[in-house]
Amino acid sequence: MRTDREGMLVVLSGPSGSGKDTVLGELLEQVDDIEVSCSLTTRERRSWELDGTHYYFVTREYFEDKLKSGGILEHACYNGNYYGTPKTPIDEWMAEGKTVILKIEVEGAARIRSMYPNCVSVFLVPPSLRVLSQRLYRRESENECEIERRLEIAKTELLHAQDYDYIILNDMLDYAVSDFRTIIRAERQRSCRRLYLIDEVLQDAEC
């Protein structure tokens, strides 16, 4: 029986424009002890994005070197660019017993699920493709061609939602955040993550 206090790995996926950043931002305001992984990407930085906060924006050469040296836990190619999760912070946070959230697409999520069978996977779904399209056009961060490509990718991503532990509908932001918070609270109490408590009770020398 494993009784040490392990971290909890949470994978959050959902089509581009489904609201992952917004939901996650609200969740971080409400729940303590959460770390969010900052990925490496070779895609161009959007005007409001900060290097080291939204992503580490790197060259293809840097990414490929890091991949070769084993510094990337999982990676995927999305719309012609590399995206990858740096390994070291994840290992450290997991060893510290933290809840660690990876905001990644479906291929990377599948890899994480096979590497960490105890991880919790959550898929955020928009109410409709029409709403998704409106959101992508409204945020004005990609041109029309790029948005149409993202919408095509979204259709295939939606077919993978069934592989996840949970599907959250992001129609009303407050409900989506509340659903995500409930999942995290419940998963933190799962018996495999709470055995250290039993250990502590049994080791109580007073009785």
Give the residues lining the site for ligand 5GP (CB under 6 A).
16, 39, 43, 74-76, 78, 83-85, 103-105, 107-108
Q: How far is the CB of 142 from ligand 5GP (least distance, A)?
A: 8
Measured from the CB atom, the residue of 81 and 118 that comes closer to ligand 5GP is 81
The CA distance from 188 to 207, in Å, is 28
26 phi and psi, to 5 degrees?
Answer: -65, -40
Q: How far is the CB of 111 from ligand 5GP (least distance, A)?
A: 8
Measured from the CB atom, the residue of 77 and 192 that comes closer to ligand 5GP is 77
- Paired residues of 18 in beta bridges: none
Measured from the CB atom, the residue of 153 and 183 that comes closer to ligand 5GP is 153
Nearest alpha-carbon partner for 152 in 182, 132, 123: 132
The CA distance from 201 to 203, in Å, is 5
Measured from the CB atom, the residue of 149 and 188 that comes closer to ligand 5GP is 149
The CA distance from 88 to 51, in Å, is 18
Residue nearest to ligand 5GP as judged by C-beta position? 108
